[in-house]
Amino acid sequence: MNSELEQLLVLQDRQQKIRQIQAEIRTLPLERAHLESQLAATAAGVDVLKLKARQVEVERKKLELDVGTRNESIARLKTQQYQTRKNDEFQAISHEIERYGNEIQKLEDEELELMIEADKLKGEVEVAEKNARTTKDTISRQLTDLETKSKALGSQQQEFEKERETLASKIDADLLDQFERLFNSKGDAAIVAVEHGVCTGCHMKVTTATASRVKAGKEIVNCEQCGRILYLGQ
């Protein structure tokens, strides 16, 4: 094979590797953001449960206060009742005490329900916190791995770029220019094989004249369809 072509093929290999690495590096911020949002969602889940538990506790305290004021009212009424000598007043006070008693019963039932709910929430918070700790550990590890990967890719890219520079400096400037333009515009490869008379870049048949020029290997030959530089494959 033409030695210029050989050099270009090695150059192309390095450039393709650099392109792959760059593509991988571009996905890293997304991966990181994804992990960080998972972490935030887990923490938010725990906060929601904790807030709910606090609200239940506030409600329960309010009920407790309501029971307290009714108990005070009953005590006051009982004193009044003790002091009265009128039977109808005594009866009226009895009714009022009974009414407060019923209210207290209702409030205490509600309080009991809230206590059961508070217990349930306490358990849920504990489980959620435990899960959140595990998730945090896992995600922290994944973030560290991502950081390591990012550094490794960065130094790999540097190495390939250095190698690429050295290779490029040995290639004719015009040919290198042609190669770069093709490499950047085609997206995959600037140099491709001709296999069974077909350009493997655009998958079109090349002319017999082109095929024999490629076979002779004495010059740089381009595919007449896609413009890629051709070398002889099978």
Nearer to Zn ion, 6 or 188 (CB): 188
Nearer Cβ to Zn ion (92/198): 198
Beta carbon nearer to Zn ion, 9 or 146 = 9
Q: Which is nearer to Zn ion, 101 or 233 (CB)?
A: 233
Residues sharing a CB contact under 8 Å with residue 63, sequence separation 6 or more, in sequence order = 107, 108, 110, 111, 114
> Which residue(s) pair with 194 in the sheet?
199, 232
Whole-angstrom Cα distance, residue 183 to residue 192?
11
**Minimum distance of Zn ion from residue 5's CB (angstroms):** 16
Site for Zn ion in 170-229 (CB under 5 A): 199, 201-202, 223, 225-226
Size of site (CB under 5 A) for Zn ion = 6
Q: Which residue has the tokens 């990181």?
A: 32
In the bound complex, what is the minimum distance in angstroms from residue 198's beta carbon to Zn ion? 8
Per CB under 5 A, does 142 bind Zn ion? no
Strand 229-232: give its sheet, edge to edge: 198-199, 191-195, 229-232
> Quick one: three-class SS letters along 12-24?
HHHHHHHHHHHHH
Q: Which residues bind Zn ion (CB under 5 A)?
A: 199, 201-202, 223, 225-226
